[in-house]
Amino acid sequence: MAEAERTQLPGYVRLSRSGELEGRARRAHEVLRDCVACPQECRVNRIEEEEGFCRTGLLPRVSSYSPHFGEEPPLVGRNGSGTIFFAGCNMRCEFCQNFL
């Protein structure tokens, strides 16, 4: 693969081809065994479907997803950057747009 072609590939494609993406996914999954994925650090075993502060088991629930165009043009490109909203989150992160 030519250098110019390699530098134009999105980072996730390069990570996938190198095998690093799979390793990162595996490490992220292991965090859920003694969960510290959020600032609450409740340390439940989400792999075994234990529910901690967030009341979420192994898999998150997605309430919506869509392109997002509310950032600077270099960040959103022509198709927008992605945005994902999760259902059931009660982490009460003070900087979240959904903070109550």
Summarised one tens digit per residue, pLDDT across range 29-81 is 999 999 988 878 889 999 998 988 877 788 888 888 998 888 888 878 888 88
Q: Is the dihedral of CA 83, 84, 85, 90 positive or negative?
A: negative
- What Rg do the C-alpha atoms of the chain give, in angstroms? 17
Q: Are 35 and 46 in contact (CB under 8 A)?
A: yes
Determine the pLDDT at residue 5: 58
pLDDT at 90: 64
CB 16 within 8 A of CB 7: no
- Whether the pLDDT of residue 1 is over 90: the answer is no
Higher pLDDT, 18 or 51: 18
